[in-house]
């Protein structure tokens, strides 16, 4: 992995039951921006996620998330070759903060002045002695620990609050669609400076949609578990499609019934007729097929949706491997969430967005 002024690499420290969004969003978004990301976990090769949704209770609840495949071995890592470090949250930091090899890794990045981004992982920063005199925020229960470690606590105004002090960036937390397929594009595009509105028929800004975790665990099809509650940012009935530059359609089970909603189909047709970028992944192509906008197009989808795509008059492009994505004029299609880096990168190209270092 080269490390130069034009080619960047980042290390993502992982552990079992890290928060799902806090690992996968930076992992896939940074790759979409052209950055190499190595995900490593002390003593492990695979790792497990936890879904930590916020409900009306006094704290979050927890349910199992996706299984996350690591792409690097922690004991073999040369920390000096990375340009930055990301520490996800969840429950993993509680025990990773007791691992001296993890603390040594964090200290090396801190001493070198390299960027460190952390969410709930501030437990590890505190244990490594890296927050003394620094301005920090975090998930609120971590506040006493950070203050005891000598940090200057910054109260989070919203759950999306982030604080930068020197080379350390801290956040509070992540802000039946497939869990990743809505949140990764949503937050990746926001990180690029795009204004992103998330809407749902018959719902308004501030309402939430439950998401589903679709994982591949060796069965004949994916498994499903409850995901996060995703908060909508705009009211569907007040939409002005002409004010947007692109449309993103996540997958999951939602497309099955959204494809029956004539207002959704009319919205999709407006974007396609105006030749604005439309990016659809996994089962989202069920909506494209129902809107009758695929005739003559080349596209892919989750393999089970092939029949919808072909009957709608499109040329089927095999998603081999499953992370393969395709662009045909203004249309970007992908097969499943492992393809997010390529999916987002191709949408960026249509939007004329470039990331430079």
pLDDT category at 145 given cuts 50, 70, 90 is: confident
CA 289 to chain CA mean position, Å: 26
Quick check: 62 pLDDT over 90?
Answer: no
Quick check: 285 pLDDT over 50?
Answer: yes
Are 276 and 247 contacting, i.e. CB atoms less than 8 angstroms apart? yes
Query: Which tens digits make up the pLDDT trace of 132-143?
Result: 999 999 988 788
CATH number where 114 lies: 3.40.50.880
The dihedral sign for the CA sequence 236, 240, 244, 248: positive
pLDDT category at 46 given cuts 50, 70, 90 is: very low
Quick check: 84 pLDDT over 70?
Answer: yes
Quick check: 226 pLDDT over 90?
Answer: no
Instruction: Count the domains in the chain.
Output: 2
- Is 194 tagged catalytic? no
Quick check: 65 pLDDT over 90?
Answer: no
Average pLDDT (138-159) is 86
Tell me whether residue 17 is in a domain: yes
Is the same domain home to 288 and 313?
A: yes
Average pLDDT (35-50) is 74
Least confident span in 29-33, 74-78, 239-243: 74-78
Last residue of a domain, one of 171, 198, 215: 171
pLDDT category at 245 given cuts 50, 70, 90 is: very high
Is the same domain home to 159 and 34?
A: yes
Is the same domain home to 157 and 192?
A: no
Is the same domain home to 207 and 319?
A: yes
ω before 320 within 30° of 0 (cis)? no
Tell me whether residue 3 is in a domain: no
pLDDT value, residue 60: 46
Tell me whether residue 177 is in a domain: no
Tell me whether residue 302 is in a domain: yes
Is the same domain home to 223 and 278?
A: yes
Tell me whether residue 1 is in a domain: no
Last residue of a domain, one of 152, 171, 190: 171
Average pLDDT (16-44) is 86
Is the same domain home to 143 and 193?
A: no
- Is 214 tagged catalytic? no
Tell me whether residue 285 is in a domain: yes
Quick check: 304 pLDDT over 90?
Answer: no
Is the same domain home to 162 and 233?
A: no
Are 21 and 39 contacting, i.e. CB atoms less than 8 angstroms apart? no
Residue whose entry in the numeric block shows the structure tokens 């003559």: 296
Is the same domain home to 270 and 298?
A: yes
Least confident span in 21-30, 98-107, 236-245, 266-275: 21-30
Tell me whether residue 224 is in a domain: yes
Is the same domain home to 162 and 190?
A: no
Is the same domain home to 136 and 203?
A: no
- Is 14 tagged catalytic? no
Quick check: 4 pLDDT over 50?
Answer: no
pLDDT value, residue 298: 98
Backbone angles phi, psi at 264, to 5 degrees: -65, -45
Mean pLDDT of the chain: 86
Quick check: 239 pLDDT over 50?
Answer: yes
Distance CA 63, CA 10 (A): 28
The one catalytic residue in 66, 228, 283, 340 is 283
Is the same domain home to 248 and 193?
A: yes
Range of the domain at 63: 8-171
The one catalytic residue in 120, 214, 228, 340 is 120
The one catalytic residue in 105, 119, 136, 209 is 119
pLDDT category at 66 given cuts 50, 70, 90 is: low
The one catalytic residue in 130, 200, 209, 282 is 282
Query: Which tens digits make up the pLDDT trace of 336-349?
Result: 999 999 999 999 99
Tell me whether residue 55 is in a domain: yes
Between strands 247-249 and 278-281, the pairing is parallel
Are 47 and 40 contacting, i.e. CB atoms less than 8 angstroms apart? no
Quick check: 158 pLDDT over 90?
Answer: no
Distance CA 191, CA 21 (A): 14
Is the same domain home to 122 and 89?
A: yes
- Is 282 tagged catalytic? yes
């Amino acid at each position: 992995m080269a490390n130069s002024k034009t080619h960047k690499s980042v290390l993502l420290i992982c552990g079992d039951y890290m928060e799902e969004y806090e690992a996968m969003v930076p992992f896939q978004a940074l790759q979409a921006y052209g950055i190499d990301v190595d995900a490593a976990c002390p003593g492990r090769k695979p790792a497990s996620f936890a879904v930590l949704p916020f409900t009306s209770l006094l704290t979050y609840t927890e349910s199992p998330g996706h299984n996350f495949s690591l792409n690097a071995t922690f004991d073999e890592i040369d920390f000096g070759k990375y340009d930055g470090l990301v520490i996800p949250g969840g429950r993993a930091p509680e025990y990773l903060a007791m691992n001296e090899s993890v603390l040594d890794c964090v200290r090396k990045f801190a001493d070198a002045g390299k960027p460190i981004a952390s969410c709930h992982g501030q437990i590890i920063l505190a244990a490594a002695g890296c927050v003394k005199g620094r301005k920090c925020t975090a998930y609120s229960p971590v506040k006493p620990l950070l203050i005891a470690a000598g940090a200057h606590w910054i109260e989070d105004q919203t759950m999306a609050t982030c604080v930068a002090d020197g080379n350390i960036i801290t956040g509070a937390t992540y802000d039946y669609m497939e869990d990743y397929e809505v949140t990764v594009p949503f937050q990746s595009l926001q990180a690029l400076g795009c204004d992103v509105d998330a809407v749902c028929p018959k719902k308004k800004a501030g309402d939430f949609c439950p998401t589903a975790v679709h994982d591949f665990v060796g069965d004949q099809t994916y498994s499903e578990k409850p995901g996060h509650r995703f908060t909508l940012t705009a009211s569907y009935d007040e939409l002005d499609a002409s004010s947007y530059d692109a449309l993103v359609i996540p997958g999951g089970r939602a497309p099955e019934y959204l494809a029956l909603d004539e207002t959704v189909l009319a919205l999709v047709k407006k974007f396609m007729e105006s030749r604005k970028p439309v990016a659809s992944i996994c089962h989202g192509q069920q909506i494209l097929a129902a809107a009758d906008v695929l005739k003559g197009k080349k596209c892919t989808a989750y393999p089970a949706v092939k029949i919808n795509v072909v009957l709608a008059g499109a040329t089927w492009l095999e998603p081999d491997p499953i992370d393969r994505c395709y662009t045909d004029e203004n249309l970007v299609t992908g097969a499943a969430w492992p393809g997010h880096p390529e999916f987002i990168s191709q949408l960026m190209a249509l939007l004329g967005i470039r990331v430079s270092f």
